[in-house]
């Protein structure tokens, strides 16, 4: 086998990818090398390529691609959970200085991979990791979705949204999702009740679908005014609002005055709340050296979400 591989290299921001020959990487301890079959493309990949995602710490020139699916062709020392020939997928690179999946081969941390289920192709598998992890962390790890809850997903036809619908349904929740008329059939086929946000007001769908009580969980994938509206639509005292958007400033008075909860969600990160100078801060505790402070709630009860290094 040649010691060279082809890779699509982002030489600089806002420039076309350049196909180049690079050395095939070798796995270190606890790593595996995969022959990449499919690469998933997410909005953050586009932002990195256009120079709009400094928080990702992916300097140019760079091989991009966060999501990957392929076949293991070499094992590093201490890897016991996989074998050569296994079909695997994961959110494994393309940020923090790690090589991404737009290459013939990729070396990754074995702990970030999972075996591809027999029922799906490698191409399908590559479309799953980031959006699924983001949806799972918000609904399961943070909001503790469970049977008989009412869950509203904003942006149900999007990547994270469609995963969130299926996860909530699998946990026994009654699921609603916003979209437009053209998204209704798709949302319904996923198992959710579609809400046309262009025609139905917040007050109307809260009254129509929750008898005015509000939703147990609202997952926001849109941000801006949609997140503000979520504060008005969630159930008093016990409700949770979860958002996967990285930036914005919002008044949380409607939320805090009614005893509700808000959490910021980013894939694969564990957060801890601490207080510094009258500001509650969620700090990143683990994962690939990427994100620091992600959410601040000031003493003036305004929420500012941002990604910092």
What is the structure's pLDDT at 150?
A: 98
What is the structure's pLDDT at 302?
A: 39
Mean per-residue pLDDT of the chain: 84
Say how far residue 41 (Cα) sits from the centre of its chain: 12
Per-residue pLDDT tens over the stretch 96-116 = 999 999 999 999 999 999 999
Confidence of residue 184 (pLDDT cuts 50, 70, 90): very high
- Counting residues of the chain whose pLDDT is more than 90, the rounded percentage is 74
Rounded Cα–Cα distance for residues 294 and 245 (Å) = 10
- Which residues have C-beta within 8 Å of that of residue 270, sequence separation ≥ 6? 284, 285, 286, 287
What is the structure's pLDDT at 83?
A: 98
Other C-beta atoms lying within 10 Å of the C-beta of residue 176: 24
Rounded mean pLDDT, 64-90: 97
What is the structure's pLDDT at 245?
A: 79
- Residue that the structure tokens 């790690």 belong to: 98
Higher pLDDT, 162 or 247: 162
Confidence of residue 287 (pLDDT cuts 50, 70, 90): very low
> Could you tell me which residues are beta bridge partners of residue 115?
88
3-class SS letters over the chain? CCCEEEEEEECCCCCCCEEEEEECCCCCCCEEEEEEEEEECCHHHHHHHCCCCHHHCCCCCEECCCEEEEEEEEECCCCCCCCCCCEEEEECCCCCCCCCCCECEEEEEHHHCEECCCCCCHHHHCCCHHHHHHHHHHHHHHCCCCCCCEEEEECCCCHHHHHHHHHHHHCCCEEEEEECHHHHHHHHHHCCEEEECCCCCHHHHHHHHHCCCCECEEEECCCCHHHHHHHHHECCCCCEEEECCCCEEEECHHHHCCCCEEEECCCCCCEEEEEECCEEEEEECCCCCCCCCCEEECCCCEEEECCCC
- Whether residue 277 is predicted with pLDDT greater than 50 in this model: the reply is no
Rounded mean pLDDT, 63-68: 97
Per-residue pLDDT tens over the stretch 20-29 = 999 999 999 9
What is the structure's pLDDT at 251?
A: 65
Confidence of residue 15 (pLDDT cuts 50, 70, 90): very high
What is the structure's pLDDT at 2?
A: 85
What is the structure's pLDDT at 265?
A: 56
Domains (ranges, CATH) in the chain? 4-126 (3.90.180.10), 130-267 (3.40.50.720)
User: What count of Cα atoms within 13 Å lies in the side-chain half-sphere of residue 282?
Assistant: 20
What is the structure's pLDDT at 261?
A: 55
pTM of the model: 0.81
What is the structure's pLDDT at 149?
A: 98
Rounded mean pLDDT, 295-309: 34
What is the structure's pLDDT at 237?
A: 85
- Counting residues of the chain whose pLDDT is more than 70, the rounded percentage is 79
Rounded Cα–Cα distance for residues 100 and 53 (Å) = 15
β-strand pairing of 261-264 with 62-63: unpaired
Q: How far is CA 42 from CA 26, 80, 91, 214, 271, in A?
A: 26, 30, 11, 32, 23
Per-residue pLDDT tens over the stretch 120-167 = 999 999 999 999 999 999 999 999 999 999 999 999 999 999 999 999
Rounded mean pLDDT, 78-102: 96
Higher pLDDT, 104 or 223: 104
63-77, 182-196, 241-255, 257-271 — which is least confidently predicted? 257-271
């Amino acid at each position: 086998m040649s010691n060279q591989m082809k890779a699509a290299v982002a030489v600089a921001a806002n420039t076309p990818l350049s196909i180049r020959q690079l050395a095939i990487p070798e796995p270190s301890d606890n790593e595996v090398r995969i022959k990449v079959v499919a690469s998933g493309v997410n909005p953050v990949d586009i932002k990195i390529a256009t120079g709009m995602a400094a928080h990702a710490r992916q300097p140019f020139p760079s091989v991009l691609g966060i999501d990957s699916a392929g076949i293991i062709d070499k094992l590093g020392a201490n890897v016991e959970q996989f074998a050569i020939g296994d079909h695997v997928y994961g959110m494994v690179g393309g940020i923090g200085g790690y090589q991404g999946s737009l290459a013939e081969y990729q070396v990754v941390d074995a702990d970030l991979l999972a075996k591809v289920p027999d029922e799906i192709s490698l191409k399908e598998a590559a479309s799953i990791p980031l959006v699924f992890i983001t949806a799972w962390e918000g609904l399961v790890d943070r909001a503790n979705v469970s049977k008989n809850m009412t869950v509203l997903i904003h942006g149900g036809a999007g990547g994270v949204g469609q995963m969130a619908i299926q996860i909530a349904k699998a946990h026994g929740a009654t699921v609603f999702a916003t979209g437009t008329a053209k998204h209704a059939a798709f949302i319904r086929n996923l198992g959710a009740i579609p809400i046309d946000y262009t025609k139905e007001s917040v007050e109307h769908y809260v009254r129509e679908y929750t008898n005015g009580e509000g939703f147990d969980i609202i997952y926001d994938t849109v941000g801006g005014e949609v997140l503000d509206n979520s504060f008005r639509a969630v159930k008093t005292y016990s409700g949770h609002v979860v958002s996967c958007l990285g930036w914005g400033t919002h008044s949380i008075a409607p939320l805090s005055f009614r005893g509700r909860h808000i959490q910021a969600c980013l894939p694969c990160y564990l957060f801890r709340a601490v207080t510094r100078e009258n500001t509650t801060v969620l700090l990143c505790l683990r994962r690939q050296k990427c994100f620091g402070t992600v959410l601040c709630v000031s003493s003036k009860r305004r929420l500012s979400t941002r990604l910092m290094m």
